[in-house]
Amino acid sequence: MRGIDFVLKRTLFALITIFVAVTLNFVLFRALPGDAISNMSKVPGASPALRAELTQEFGLDRSKWSQYWIYLRELSTGNLGVSYSNQEPVTTELSRAVMNTIPMVLLGTLFSIVFGTITGVLAAWKRRTVVDYGSVSTALIFYSLPTHWLGLMLLLLTAGILPRGGREDEFLFNPTFMEHMIDIGKHMLLPSLTLGLVLYGQYTLVTRSAMLETLGEDFILTARAKGLPDRRIVRRHAFRNAMLPVITLVALSLGYIVAGSILIETVFSWPGVGLLVSRSVERRDWPVLQGAFLILTISVVLCNYVADLLYFRLDPRITT
Amino acid sequence: MNSPVLRVDDLHVWFDLPHGQELHAVQGVSLELAAGERFGLVGESGCGKTTTILALMGLLPSSASVSGAVELDGYDLLADGEESMRPHRWKDIAMVFQGAMNALNPVQTVGAQVVEPMAFHGIADGDEAKVRAGELLEMVGIGADRADRYPHEFSGGMRQRAAIAMALACEPKVLLADEPTTALDVMVQAQILELLTGLSEDLGLTLVFVTHDIPVIAELCDRAAVMYAGEIVEEGPVDALYHEPLHPYTRLLFGAIPDPLGEKDVISIPGAPPRLDREIVGCPFNPRCDVAFERCVDQRPKLLQLGDRRRAACHRNDPASEAAS
Amino acid sequence: MSTALEQEPGVVAESSQRRLLKAVWELLKDRPSAVVGAAVLGLLVLLAIFAPLVAPHGIHDKIGEPFGSPSSYGPLGLDDGGTDVLSLLIWGARISLTVGFAASLVAILIGGTVGILAGYFGGATDSTLMRITDYFLAIPDVPLMIVVAAIWGPSLSHIVLVIGLLLWTSTARIVRAQVKSVRERVYVKRARALGAGSGRIIFRHVLPQVAPLLVANTVLTIAVAIFDETALAFLGLSDPSKISWGKMIRNATDSAAISAGAWWAIVPPGVCVAFVILACTLIGQAMEDALNPRLRVAHLAARGFRLRPRMLGDDL
């Protein structure tokens, strides 16, 4: 079968990267000299019983190597420790946050991919026209704005029109399901839009240059020689070829999406993983920060893996 | 000659350069091609061969300006620029590009790319088009069962064959081939040339063959034109160009062919063609010419009809200047 | 190798520096966007250098009520502590630009070294270094920066190091590719055949060739580094005693400048960051374009070729 090697290689790379991230997570938090958490069981306000239990569970009185081993074992059962600030298991807090982050990030990313691709293609097609200059400068501006600052500006502009933060209006009395969903949607709009606009700039620029590259290929000249109208050439011949590098670059921008979501969720108090990161930084809540970092890293690695497979599906030339 | 299929009249192409300058790439080319004729267009690189045939299909970039007429069966394709050209592309004039490596779309199957123009120009649709695509591939020596392969799965020669099959999809009257055999090894080159000759005979195609490879022209073409500095300097039957050239450039160019017995060295013409971004005064070939005289320095020679089937642009053929030499 | 380098270090350094500057200028002069970018960046750097002379007030001077408006106090009004925003902006440029330049210097040093070693030596060195780079590239850098900065504790040097230590990967890849091609050039091969040591070849032949690319990359990295500083500051991970543009945005958010309607406390620092990022992007992209020209003509464009009337005067 075509490219079984490729799939195996990418799977292996993803698995190893996750393992590296897991190890890095341990090293950063517990093995570095001068690390902030020499004792994971220093949970503020915890009962001696809980402390003893944690010490036992994570083997905090043993050597670093056996701690690492215990860490891996606990991780495989989904045990990431207990939050310092509210004594809840980190896994519970994280899964709740992930469910909030995913729709917000998806909406924003979808927005930027759709509009970024369209303007990028148009700009390349209408190169050196007002369309091109206009979309490139808009894209450059959005690309240059600091994410959280753009969020703050949107807050400033929409003051009084859209909710300022959070996930839902807590004073909404006895809402129906629809009302509740609309309320959440309203709260989600600004965070998603901020992410969407920031990524929009990047995707426009990336798509434009990939498209320009493709329009210089000889097969575009062939398509023109066949008498096809420009629209059809762009749709049938240029677009799919130009999308190949764009997929890779969108995958590479995942780190950027993650960074953006941390900042945006902080600005809008959207209760996702990003907010968890900034709250745990503020409260020096190491177990939560550790868990959130792990989740973010693993999701980036997995998304990259999916992008690789997608690329493989779309490009018949890949065999290894 | 019976009425021509393709008539090119005083074709000029300019390209915009930075700082408002222009490059006059094609400087008044006129040609007449009969049905079923195999015609060669030769010259050093940069002399305007490729630009000329791209202009015949209107495939020039937006930095180009064109004037002149390209008539197909008496209808001026260039009358309204790209728009009047588009419906005739591939249906009446098709093209095989230089280096078929990149002329095929890498993410579409070869079959789909042969079918596409048929479906678009309303020649055939659906299964019928697929069957026809299979036949065309068979005709160029590729099994019909390989229609669902991607270009990268083909060798260079096969890709060029596929490109030829694609070019024949809409049964064009004229087929333009721009150096279709460069980058292929000698064996494959010979096969492709044979294929093109056979096709033009079987289908009555008018073939315009662009190359800098003189032996290829000798083998394939009935008639040829020699281009230099954007214009045709000599045109005639290939035999005549070989044995009694009327332009010094033709003589040197055809003389540059390696001798089959390998006794003579390959002659290359010293010097370089003139720059096309400034106006040429005198004969463009004069600085490199071994028989130039005063008139060549300040007067540009016209392309004169000499005898029945020959034209040349050299003062030496002008009876008026006979005395000077 | 060492003798050759010691013989004429001054000469080499000076001439190659001047050559580099000249090369950079050659790349930029025909590109208006790059010239604009350079002007903006230059202006901000000058403001930062001459902050004591230019800034109307000190960063601790309380000159009026909190959030005093621009109409009553100076061009940009006052922040939550009653300090002049314009002065904060000028002093903040010092910290922000220092972090940006220093962090990208760290990144370029690491990335350049890794790239040159991998590209020049190839083989096992190359595959090991690139494998490491791949893993670094796969792990999202901002969360990692946050974690490290949080554990190390906030201080200016930590921020510079954290950012620099995580931004080198793309530089390493680009430099490696370039070095690989330089390595195969005739004069490098000849130098090697003449018995020149690796160190000498790298410093005399390879480095000058990749230097313009490194400069382009540094400029692009500055933009990312300044963005990262702003992000870390926003999450409360910057040096509490230093005022930077990122810190200004954070302070304004903390003090609820938005609900107070004090846009002047929050708009200017963001605009400054955006200007720097924009300027660096324009310069860096122009340089990359110039170094790696893609002279391809698009086969499809908004408008087709033009028609000209037939030339009737028949004197050709």
How sure is the predictor about C237, in pLDDT bands with cuts at 50, 70 and 90?
A: very high
Q: Which residue has the tokens 């040339």?
A: B193
- Report residue B125 CA to chain centroid gap: 31
Q: How far apart are the first and last CA of chain B?
A: 34
C73/A236: higher pLDDT: A236
Residue of chain C minimizing CA distance to A15 = C135
> Which residues from A are below 8 Å from C231, CB to CB?
146-148, 259, 262-263
CB-CB under 8 Å, C253 with A297? no
Nearest to B67 among C298, C302, C308 (CB): C308
Other C-beta atoms closer than 10 Å to the C-beta of B73 total: 13
Q: At a CB cut-off of 8 Å and minimum separation 6, what does C52 contact? A: none
Other C-beta atoms closer than 10 Å to the C-beta of C98 total: 16
pLDDT of the residue at C256: 84
CA atoms within 13 A on the CB side of C14: 4
- d(C-alpha A121, C-alpha A208), whole Å: 6
CB-CB under 8 Å, C310 with B69? yes
Residue of chain C minimizing CA distance to A36 = C151
| Backbone phi, psi, residue B70, to 5° | -125, 105
Neighbours of chain B (3+ CB pairs under 8 A): A, C
- Report residue C244 CA to chain centroid gap: 17
Give the H/E segment covering residue B66. Answer: strand B64-72
Answer for the pair B230, B221: CB distance below 8 angstroms, yes or no: no
> Which residues from B are below 8 Å from A223, CB to CB?
105
Segment A277-288 shows an average pLDDT of 88
CB-CB under 8 Å, A156 with C258? yes
- d(C-alpha C58, C-alpha A124), whole Å: 49
B302 to chain C, closest Cα gap in Å: 7
Answer for the pair B93, B57: CB distance below 8 angstroms, yes or no: yes
- d(C-alpha A38, C-alpha A48), whole Å: 18
How sure is the predictor about C187, in pLDDT bands with cuts at 50, 70 and 90?
A: confident
CB-CB under 8 Å, C231 with A263? yes
pLDDT of the residue at C163: 93
C243 to chain A, closest Cα gap in Å: 17
B151 to chain C, closest Cα gap in Å: 20
For residue A175, the one-letter residue type is P
Q: At a CB cut-off of 8 Å and minimum separation 6, what does C76 contact? A: C70, C84, C85, C86, C89, C264, C268
Q: Which residue has the tokens 């994570």?
A: A58
CA atoms within 13 A on the CB side of A227: 25
C179 to chain B, closest Cα gap in Å: 28
CA atoms within 13 A on the CB side of A106: 7
- d(C-alpha A232, C-alpha A218), whole Å: 16
| Backbone phi, psi, residue B210, to 5° | -100, 130
Q: Is the pLDDT of residue C13 over 50?
A: no
Q: What angle do CA B292, B293, B297 make, to 5 degrees?
A: 85
% of chain A residues with pLDDT over 90: 50
Q: Dig out the tokens for C84 from the structure.
A: 């002049």
Give the H/E segment covering residue A244. Answer: helix A239-252
- d(C-alpha B311, C-alpha C305), whole Å: 30
A145/C263: higher pLDDT: A145
Per-residue HEC secondary structure of A196-213 comes to: HHHHHHHHHHHHHHHHHH
> Which residues from C are below 8 Å from B61, CB to CB?
297-299, 301, 305
Answer for the pair B164, B196: CB distance below 8 angstroms, yes or no: yes
A219 to chain C, closest Cα gap in Å: 9
- d(C-alpha A124, C-alpha A208), whole Å: 5
> Which residues from A are below 8 Å from C277, CB to CB?
143-144, 146
- d(C-alpha A200, C-alpha A202), whole Å: 5
C272: left (phi over 0), alpha (psi -120 to 50) or beta: alpha
Answer for the pair B105, A219: CB distance below 8 angstroms, yes or no: yes
**Average pLDDT of each block of 10 consecutive residues along chain B (325 residues)?**
84 89 92 93 89 92 92 90 90 86 89 94 91 93 92 90 93 92 83 90 92 86 93 93 91 70 56 87 90 89 88 85 50
CB-CB under 8 Å, B67 with C304? no
- d(C-alpha C232, C-alpha C155), whole Å: 11
- State whether the Cα torsion A105-A111-A117-A120 is positive or negative: negative
pLDDT of the residue at C7: 37
Hey, what's the torsion of the CAs at A238, A241, A245, A250, to 10 degrees? 80
pLDDT of the residue at C294: 63
Q: Is the pLDDT of residue A42 over 70?
A: no
| pLDDT tens-digit map of C105-116 | 999 999 999 999
C123 to chain B, closest Cα gap in Å: 29
User: Nearest Cα to C285, choosing from A143, B265, B197, B313?
Assistant: A143
Residue of chain C minimizing CA distance to B81 = C307
Under 8 Å CB pairs connecting chains A and B tally to: 66
Chain A interface, Cβ < 8 Å to B: 217-219, 221-229, 232, 236-237, 240-241, 244, 314-317
Which residue of A222, A231, A315, A319 to mutate against B (max B Cβ within 10 Å)? A222
User: Nearest Cα to C141, choosing from A297, A264, A35?
Assistant: A297
- State whether the Cα torsion B202-B205-B206-B210 is positive or negative: negative
| pLDDT tens-digit map of A216-262 | 889 999 999 999 999 999 999 999 899 988 888 788 788 889 999 99
Pairing between β-strand B223-228 and β-strand B304-306 as defined by DSSP bridges:
unpaired
How sure is the predictor about C313, in pLDDT bands with cuts at 50, 70 and 90?
A: low
A238 to chain B, closest Cα gap in Å: 9
| pLDDT tens-digit map of C238-269 | 888 899 999 999 999 988 888 888 888 899 99
Nearest to C147 among A212, A234, A293 (CB): A293
Residue of chain A minimizing CA distance to C226 = A146
pLDDT of the residue at B262: 46
Whether chain B has a CB inside 8 Å of the CB on C308: the answer is yes
User: Nearest Cα to A227, choosing from B206, B196, B122, B137?
Assistant: B122
Whether chain C has a CB inside 8 Å of the CB on A160: the answer is no
Whether chain B has a CB inside 8 Å of the CB on C306: the answer is yes
Answer for the pair A111, A193: CB distance below 8 angstroms, yes or no: yes
For residue B237, the one-letter residue type is P
The residues pairing with B12 across neighbouring beta strands, listed in sequence order, are B27, B67
Q: Which residue has the tokens 């040159």?
A: C116
CB-CB under 8 Å, C310 with B65? no
pLDDT of the residue at C12: 45
- d(C-alpha A22, C-alpha A5), whole Å: 26
Whether chain B has a CB inside 8 Å of the CB on C296: the answer is no
pLDDT of the residue at A274: 95
Answer for the pair B38, B209: CB distance below 8 angstroms, yes or no: yes
> Which residues from B are below 8 Å from C316, CB to CB?
27-28, 231, 300, 302
Q: Which residue has the tokens 């005639």?
A: B236
| pLDDT tens-digit map of A120-130 | 999 999 988 99
Q: Which residue has the tokens 């974690």?
A: C147
B231 to chain C, closest Cα gap in Å: 10
CB-CB under 8 Å, A219 with B105? yes
C311 to chain B, closest Cα gap in Å: 8
Q: Dig out the tokens for C117 from the structure.
A: 């070693």
CB-CB under 8 Å, B78 with C307? yes
Answer for the pair C90, C82: CB distance below 8 angstroms, yes or no: no
A176 to chain C, closest Cα gap in Å: 31
| pLDDT tens-digit map of C125-144 | 999 999 899 888 888 889 99
How sure is the predictor about C198, in pLDDT bands with cuts at 50, 70 and 90?
A: confident
pLDDT of the residue at C273: 96
pLDDT of the residue at C15: 63
Whether chain C has a CB inside 8 Å of the CB on A161: the answer is no
CB-CB under 8 Å, B105 with A241? yes
Other C-beta atoms closer than 10 Å to the C-beta of C258 total: 19
Query: Which pTM does this prediction carry?
Result: 0.87
Whether chain B has a CB inside 8 Å of the CB on C304: the answer is yes
Q: Which residue has the tokens 């409260």?
A: A283
Range in A211-220, A223-232, C67-76, C204-213 with the lowest mean pLDDT: C67-76
CB-CB under 8 Å, C308 with B69? no
Segment C56-71 shows an average pLDDT of 82
Residue of chain A minimizing CA distance to B86 = A227
Nearest to A317 among B87, B106, B163 (CB): B106
pLDDT of the residue at B238: 92
CB-CB under 8 Å, A147 with C236? no
Neighbours of chain A (3+ CB pairs under 8 A): B, C
CA distances from A163 to A158, A183, A269, A311, C253 (A): 9, 9, 11, 39, 17
Residue of chain C minimizing CA distance to A144 = C274
CB-CB under 8 Å, C308 with B65? yes
Residue of chain B minimizing CA distance to A222 = B103
Q: What angle do CA C289, C294, C298 make, to 5 degrees?
A: 130
CA atoms within 13 A on the CB side of C69: 4
CA atoms within 13 A on the CB side of C55: 24
